[in-house]
């Protein structure tokens, strides 16, 4: 080196400039003079940088992956730093600490995704930075940098965002800084909170909802649908999974029973005095004092936990008692009795009165119709005497004679079937106390129960048979829940993988073979309860009925309550149709109970019930196919009336032309363009002619104004 200074082996030295480019160096040269100002180390294989006193360093085309804290701390005079085409992925917080004289920084062609603001704190002299060809993720962590280059223009408009998706390939220099936001602060789904392949749906205010795959449930799809699904243990108890679809409940203090359903009577051995009444609480009790005595406090009969009034009644607290104000249609001390509204009914012509809640309806005899069955049937007027329908016996439908047919046929109203429409095959349970009672089941050797259900409820009774030994089918938390107990304690519990309360028809098949039971819903894979206990068959009294759609109000015996721990009697089930027991369809008219039901599933089978027609059209049912069509309003088309018709028309009008108090003598014929031409086009005049119009002013003077008369309108994409 000139002047006798040391020059590293293989390098070219010129005064204070050392060039070691392309020498395949794996580390910094040793023994560098302290007074060098420029060092060129590009196109080498260097991975670590030691501190030096330099003005310029070229480290391009190396393999540097990380710039550690204080890497250039001693290079306070460095003005140019070239780190392009390395493998940089990370800048530590104080990587550029001390570089207060640095003016040019090249980080081009690396793999940086973000720039820590603290690392640039000392770069107060920076005039140019090269950041192109990096994987910069433009979220809130890059907001400061976007502000900086817009203020000082130190980046020439080459660096682009690689993410997020909304900013991909956009220039950092020209992208509005308010777009640099962190998705995790706005989109709760960015962290993938849903487990077990659940799908995350973002909601407002950084909330989210997980749509679970079959077999899982819970806020994050963490929980498996097992015997403890739906918290079967009552009163704060803990549910523990046992083998073969069973569970056990661990009660808190004050409760006992299989489901912890029994509040232990703490009044046993109570210390209430002076003939006071003991009131059992949870793990405690209270004394209700007689007149003349005092205690801790009086009983609030109308409290949420004690309110005895039922069926929507209002509880009114009295001095030492309560009073129930019943809702219309109910009576009794606690409003538990459904008033018989049929006592003074107006049904005519042999009609049957059907009691309802605060009302009734008339089931007409053949040949009559009307609200009170007061009108004779129109059959005799509709059908000529020569028609086979003149003396038809269609029970719940109307008679018609097909073309080229000799005899007539019956077209049944919804819910009914059979040759004469005399069979009731589908029913709707509108009120919470609606149910039907069927004949006892024969459980040996097998029993096959198949039916279709349509409901929007999340809870309700579907089927119940037995008492202690039982088969219970419920809706629970939108799924089908089976409790099956032949006597091998405890009962086995099974839930459907899929939810069924979407209002659509779901076919359910239950096959009982001794102590084992299989459930199949629609096309889903069957679920099976396998029981290895000693008892093979469910034995119940011979006169035990099968309940469908609900249970009587007072059915909750001690043993039954343990089974149906989850049911709430305030839920109506919905609709059940095509009930088969051992391949034989059931006629609901043969039920052994009064039918508190509505024939058919009209509420669920209306094709327009869940139609997709937009507000630009109206749903019209096609009853022959149980489908619907959307009849579009003027100006719209498409299957759901969601497409505007592109049409540009000329609408003529006549009006006086006025300007500054001067008015034309006669109305002027003109037109305006009106219509829809699509997103990027407008309806406008495509042909006009000019016309000079005379205006008469208030002082009788006359002036002229030239106006454009529209002759033709068409769609145009001109701005």
pLDDT value at residue 632: 92
| Local structure of 118: helix, strand or coil | helix
Q: Where are the domains of the chain?
A: 188-224, 426-595, 606-645, 647-716
Q: What is the pLDDT of residue 380?
A: 45
3-state SS of 419-467 is: CCCCEECEEEECCCCCCEEECCCCCCCEEEEEEEEECCCCCEEEEEEEC
Q: For 388-398, write each residue's pLDDT tens digit.
A: 676 667 877 77
Average pLDDT of span 265-284: 83
Highest mean pLDDT among 118-132, 402-416, 586-600: 118-132
What is the predicted pLDDT for the residue at 301? 76
Report pLDDT for 172: 93
pTM (two decimals): 0.46
Tell me the C-alpha distance between 510 and 528, whole Å.
Answer: 10
- 699 vs 663: CA distance, rounded Å: 12
The length of the chain is 719
Inter-CA distances, 715 with 404, 653, 684, Å: 55, 20, 6
Q: Which residue has the higher pLDDT, 202 or 604?
A: 202
Which pLDDT band holds residue 672 (cuts at 50, 70, 90)?
very high
8-58 residue pLDDT tens? 888 888 888 888 888 888 887 877 776 777 788 888 887 776 655 567 888
CA Rg, the chain, in Å?
Answer: 42
Q: Closest Cα to residue 455, out of 550, 529, 519, 357?
A: 550
Q: Are 535 and 487 in contact (CB under 8 A)?
A: yes
What was the pLDDT predicted at 110? Answer: 94
Name the nearest CA neighbour of 134 among 84, 69, 67.
84
In this predicted model, what pLDDT tens digit does every residue of 452-485 receive, in sequence order? 999 888 888 899 998 788 899 988 888 999 989 8
Contacts 24+ apart (CB under 8 A), 30-37: 31/6, 32/8, 33/5, 33/6, 37/77
C-alpha 31/C-alpha 9 separation (Å) is 10
What confidence score (pLDDT) does residue 376 get?
60
Read off the tokens for 653.
Answer: 């009008």
β-sheet bridge partners, residue 707: 691
| Cα–Cα distance, 134 to 118 (Å, whole number) | 20
Q: How far is the C-alpha of 249 from the C-alpha of 566, rounded, in Å?
A: 14
Given this model, what pLDDT does residue 40 score?
Answer: 82
Mean pLDDT taken over the chain: 82
CATH topology of domain 647-716: 2.10.90
Nearest to 164 by CA among 144, 135, 191, 192: 135
Q: 432 pLDDT exceeds 70?
A: no
- The CATH class for the domain spanning 606-645 reads mainly beta
Residues sharing a CB contact under 8 Å with residue 149, sequence separation 6 or more, in sequence order: 129, 155, 172, 173
Q: Find the mean pLDDT for residues 652-675.
A: 90
Structurally, at CATH architecture level, domain 426-595 sits in: Sandwich (2.60)
Pairing type for strands 658-659 and 643-644 reads unpaired
More confident residue, 135 or 301: 135
Nearest to 565 by CA among 490, 458, 474, 499: 474
pLDDT in tens, 175-199: 998 888 876 666 778 777 899 999 9
Find the mean pLDDT for residues 57-78: 85
Average the pLDDT over 104-126 and give the result: 93
Query: With 60 as the cut, is the pLDDT of residue 658 above it?
Result: yes
Reduce the secondary structure of 162-197 to three states and give it as a string. Answer: EECHHHCCCECCCCCHHHCCCHHHHCHHHHCCCCCC
Which of 93-102, 288-297, 524-533 shows the lowest per-residue confidence on average (mean pLDDT)?
A: 288-297
Residue 690 tokens read as 């000019």
CATH top-level class of 188-224:
mainly beta
| Domains 606-645 and 647-716 fall in the same CATH topology | no
| Residues 64-70, mean pLDDT to the nearest whole number | 88
Which 3 state secondary structure label does DSSP give 287? strand
Burial class (CB in 10 A: 0-12, 13-18, 19+), 69: middle
- For residue 707, what is the enclosing H or E element? strand 702-716
Q: At residue 414, does pLDDT exceed 90?
A: no
- Alpha helix segments (H runs only) across 116-264: 143-152, 183-186
What DSSP state is assigned to residue 669?
Answer: E
For 541-561, write each residue's pLDDT tens digit: 888 889 888 877 666 543 444
């Amino acid at each position: 080196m000139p002047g006798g200074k040391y020059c590293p082996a293989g390098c070219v030295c010129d005064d204070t400039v050392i060039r070691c480019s392309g020498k395949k160096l794996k580390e910094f040269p040793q023994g560098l003079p302290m007074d060098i100002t420029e060092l060129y180390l590009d196109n080498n294989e260097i991975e670590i940088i030691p501190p030096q006193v330099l003005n310029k360093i070229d480290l391009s085309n190396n393999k540097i992956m990380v710039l550690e804290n204080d890497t250039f701390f001693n290079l306070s005079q460095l003005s140019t730093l070239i780190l392009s085409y390395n493998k940089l992925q990370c800048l530590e917080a104080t990587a550029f600490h001390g570089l207060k004289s640095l003016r040019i920084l090249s980080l081009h062609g690396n793999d940086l995704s973000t720039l820590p603001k603290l690392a640039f704190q000392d770069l107060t002299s920076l005039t140019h930075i090269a950041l192109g060809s990096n994987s910069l993720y433009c979220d809130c962590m890059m907001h400061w940098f976007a502000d900086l280059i817009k203020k000082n223009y130190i980046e020439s408009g080459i660096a682009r965002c690689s993410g997020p998706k909304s900013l991909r390939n956009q220039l950092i220099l020209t992208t509005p800084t308010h777009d640099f936001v962190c998705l995790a602060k706005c989109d709760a789904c960015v962290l993938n909170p849903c487990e077990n392949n659940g799908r995350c749906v973002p909601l407002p205010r950084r909330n989210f909802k997980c749509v679970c795959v079959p077999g899982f449930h819970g806020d994050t799809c963490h929980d498996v649908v097992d015997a403890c699904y739906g918290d079967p243990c009552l009163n704060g108890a803990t549910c523990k999974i046992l083998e073969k679809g069973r569970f056990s409940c661990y009660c808190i203090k004050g409760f006992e029973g299989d489901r912890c359903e029994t509040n232990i009577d703490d009044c046993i051995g109570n210390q209430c005095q002076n003939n006071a009444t003991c009131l059992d609480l949870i793990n405690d009790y209270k004394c209700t004092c007689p007149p003349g005595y005092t205690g801790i406090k009086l009983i609030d009969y109308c409290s949420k936990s004690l309110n005895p009034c039922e069926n929507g009644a209002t509880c009114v607290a009295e001095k030492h008692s309560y009073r129930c104000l019943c809702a219309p249609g109910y009576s009794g001390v606690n409003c538990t009795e459904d008033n018989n509204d049929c006592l003074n009914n107006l049904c005519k012509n042999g009609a049957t009165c059907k009691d309802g809640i605060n009302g009734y309806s008339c089931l007409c005899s053949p040949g009559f119709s009307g609200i009170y069955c007061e009108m004779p049937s129109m059959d005799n007027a509709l059908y000529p005497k020569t028609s086979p329908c003149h003396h038809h016996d269609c029970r719940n439908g109307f008679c018609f004679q097909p073309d080229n047919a000799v005899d007539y046929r019956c077209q049944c109203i919804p819910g009914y079937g059979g040759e004469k429409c005399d069979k009731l095959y589908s029913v709707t349970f509108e009120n919470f106390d609606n149910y039907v009672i069927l004949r006892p089941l024969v459980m040996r050797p097998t029993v096959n129960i198949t039916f279709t259900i349509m409901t929007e409820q999340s809870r309700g009774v579907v089927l119940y048979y037995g008492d202690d030994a039982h088969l219970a089918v419920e809706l629970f938390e939108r799924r089908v829940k089976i409790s099956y107990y032949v006597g091998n304690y405890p009962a086995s519990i099974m839930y459907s993988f899929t939810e069924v309360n979407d209002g659509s028809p779901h076919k359910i098949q239950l096959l009982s073979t001794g102590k084992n039971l299989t459930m199949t819903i629609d096309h889903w894979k069957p679920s099976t309860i396998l029981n290895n206990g000693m008892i093979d068959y469910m034995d119940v009294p011979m006169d035990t009925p099968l309940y469908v759609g609900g249970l009587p109000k007072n059915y909750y015996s001690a043993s039954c309550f343990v089974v149906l721990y989850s049911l709430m009697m305030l839920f109506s089930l919905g609709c059940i149709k095509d009930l088969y027991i051992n391949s034989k369809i059931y006629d609901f008219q043969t039920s052994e109970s009064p039918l508190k039901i509505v024939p058919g599933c009209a509420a669920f089978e209306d094709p327009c019930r869940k139609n997709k027609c937009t507000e630009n059209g109206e749903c019209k049912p096609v009853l022959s196919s149980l489908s619907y069509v959307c009849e579009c309003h003027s100006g719209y088309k498409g299957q759901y009336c969601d497409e505007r018709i592109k049409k540009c028309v000329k609408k003529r009008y006549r009006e006086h032309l006025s300007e500054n108090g001067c008015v034309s003598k006669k109305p002027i014929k003109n037109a305006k363009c009106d219509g829809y031409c699509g997103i990027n086009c407008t309806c406008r005049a495509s042909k006009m002619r000019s016309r000079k119009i005379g205006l008469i002013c208030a002082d009788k003077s006359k002036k002229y104004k030239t106006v454009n008369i529209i002759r033709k309108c068409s769609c145009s994409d001109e701005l």
